[in-house]
Amino acid sequence: MTSSRRLLPLGASLTRGSFATDQIRNGFLTSFRGFATVTSSESEAALANLEAKYAVALPECSTLDEEITKIRREFELAKQRFLNIPEAINSMPKMNPQGIYVNKNLRLDNIQVYGFDYDYTLAHYSSHLQSLIYDLAKQHMVNEVVESLILMAVSFNPNCFFFFLSIVFRITCSLFLQFRYPDACFQFKYDPTFPIRGLYYDKQKGCLMKLDFFGSIEPDGCYFGRRKLSRKEIESMYGTRHIGRDQARGLVGLMDFFCFSEACLIADMVQYFVDAKLEFDASNIYNDVNRAIQHVHRSGLVHRGILADPNRYLLKNGQLLRFLRMLKDKGKKLFLLTNSPYHFVDGGMRYLMEDSFGLRDSWRELFDVVIAKANKPEFYTSEHPFRCYDSERDNLAFTKVDAFDPKKVYYHGCLKSFLQITKWHGPEVIYFGDHLFSDLRGPSKAGWRTAAIIHELEREIQIQNGDSYRFEQAKFHIIQELLGRFHATVSDTHRSEACQSLLDELNNARQRARDTMKQMFNRSFGATFVTDTGQESAFSYHIHQYADVYTSKPENFLLYRPEAWLHVPYDIKIMPHHVKVASNLFGT
């Protein structure tokens, strides 16, 4: 772990400048002087007056009042420095938004087999897709009974469809329509500013929440419907912010990229029942929304919508083909393992590659094995047999599959049979996927190397690289340390008016810095990987568990040599891509 990540031309995840890292030895006053290089002469004069006003003659604090005076003085000096962004921030490391970030050391020269999921791994989608999924699922929840009756009629006798349907409606609609979601739900609109990935829904209490690394509820990230709960409401509902083992059983994680529409629809449905003052079971809300989301995928509604207008939903990327061809040229084996049906994958890949392939070429030539409708995560634990799929006749063969033909497509199957057929084992295989549970948990336990594809990583790194975010983070840490000193000095039962005033000011300043950072990412839940206080999120915890490396797109591997050794940074404290701006950075 003491080795640093190999940094290559155009591929470095980190570029460093020289900057001071001295530890604070004389209190915050020394660190704050780092701001002096960017203040005006008027500010310097004001600072001198402040130092004189709050100067303490004694070399050591021997009384409570003296310590509070010292904290007050340092806080006032800090506020003056907060008026300008310090030059020290410019010398901080800049993280590469297209970098590969390492949780477990990985030697790429040992990898001989590359496996890929399709959705949000090889294929990336525009923001319009979440609205499509949301609208289709919403319509299914309102029209579910009508759709079910139509399917009943067709399956009974397609030749007398309309006659039978009229009879069914007359006899059964009055019985079933009471279970439909209200037509008012048609007014719901997907809100892209509301959800993030990695949220949890409490099926018992109906709350949508963000958790930190230790399973505690983010104070400003817990919603009942679309209303944010206060800390008092959270404590009243849960007793504490920490989710215990018993309570955790009622939580469901929303971890893949399709979860955005699901989280938003859950919150909107809960809010509807709250506003209408109707009783409801939070578990039923989740089950109905989840069933609707699954329906629009399994029924092919989403697939047909995407293929009908690929230019609206699919994002072309010529670098993907370059990456796959580079792997083939290096003699690597490639396989595709996806839950999507073949016709959908084929249509999407044809669109993505149409500008790069000739008339006689096919994306299939890039892969040694293509497996569709794999039913992950059950694929990794079941013993389902593989079936050969005939794409022209749209049916499955009955013959046993004991070898893979690159010219054929396979359905279903299981990991056990896959390993027996291919003889690919352990650390020579790496699998790329976007869903930490469905895609990566199984391969990780099987000994494969794993790569998480997290599309939103690029945007969050770009924000974290910005001076405004780092400045607010430095302010937050400075105030946080002042608050720590305050609470270590003053007990709750012996607070003077001056002490309480200082405490209120510090808390307010910390909250302002926290809110400012949060708004830079997402107004409701903040950043995906860290909490508002800089702790790792529960989503980050799962990345640590199941992803050896993570990046925003598979083709980012082009920025690294195929034989590179990717190492865990020796100085890592939280996520490898995240730089913590410490208060002592501004020491001079």
Query: Residue 404: what residue type?
Result: F
Which of the listed ranges 86-95, 173-182, 245-254, 395-404 does the model predict with the highest average pLDDT? 395-404
Q: How far, in Å, CA of 331 to CA of 112, rounded?
A: 8
Q: Sort strands 386-390 and 409-412 into parallel, antiparallel or unpaired.
A: antiparallel
Would you state the structure tokens that stand for residue 542, as one six-digit string? 């799962």
Sheet strands side by side (includes 113-116): 101-102, 549-551, 449-453, 429-433, 113-116, 333-337, 369-372, 409-412, 386-390, 395-396
Residue with the larger pLDDT of the pair 293 and 33: 293
What is the pLDDT, as a whole number, of residue 302? 95
Residue 272 has pLDDT above 90, yes or no: yes
Q: How far, in Å, CA of 588 to CA of 584, rounded?
A: 9
Q: How far, in Å, CA of 523 to CA of 193, rounded?
A: 7
Whether cis (ω within 30° of 0) applies to the bond prior to 377 is: yes
What is the pLDDT, as a whole number, of residue 573? 61
Kindly state the average pLDDT of the residues 254-265: 91
Residues 448-492 pLDDT 10s = 999 999 999 999 999 999 989 998 988 898 999 999 989 888 876
The residues near 318 (Cβ < 8 Å, ≥ 6 apart) are: 355, 356
pLDDT band at 326 (very low <50, low <70, confident <90, very high): very high
The residues near 354 (Cβ < 8 Å, ≥ 6 apart) are: none
Instruction: List b or e across 512-534, with b for residues whose CB sees 16 or more CB atoms inside 10 angstroms.
Output: ebbebbbebbbebbbbbbbbbbb
Instruction: Give the position of tokens 């950072």.
Output: 517
What is the pLDDT, as a whole number, of residue 318? 84
Q: Please give the mean pLDDT across all residues of the chain.
A: 82
Residue 139 has pLDDT above 80, yes or no: yes
Beta strands in 138-275 (DSSP E): 199-202, 207-211, 217-224, 227-228, 251-254
The residues near 81 (Cβ < 8 Å, ≥ 6 apart) are: 32, 34, 35, 36, 39, 586
Kindly state the average pLDDT of the residues 566-584: 71
- CA-based diameter of the chain, in Å? 99
C-alpha dihedral sign at 29, 34, 37, 38:
negative
Residues 53-107 pLDDT 10s = 444 444 444 577 788 889 999 998 888 888 777 777 777 888 999 999 999 999 9
What is the pLDDT, as a whole number, of residue 16? 35
What is the pLDDT, as a whole number, of residue 358? 60
What is the pLDDT, as a whole number, of residue 583? 57
Q: Sort strands 113-116 and 333-337 into parallel, antiparallel or unpaired.
A: parallel
Q: Which of 22, 119, 183, 275 is catalytic?
A: 119
Q: Which helix (H) or strand (E) holds 492?
A: none
Q: Which of 22, 65, 117, 492 is catalytic?
A: 117
What is the pLDDT, as a whole number, of residue 519? 93
Active-site residue 571, yes or no? no
Is residue 127 a contact partner of residue 580, using CB atoms and an 8 Å limit? no
Which of the listed ranges 27-41, 82-96, 165-179, 452-466 does the model predict with the highest average pLDDT? 452-466
pLDDT band at 571 (very low <50, low <70, confident <90, very high): low
Which pTM was predicted? Answer: 0.81
Radius of gyration of the chain (CA): 28
Active-site residue 402, yes or no? no
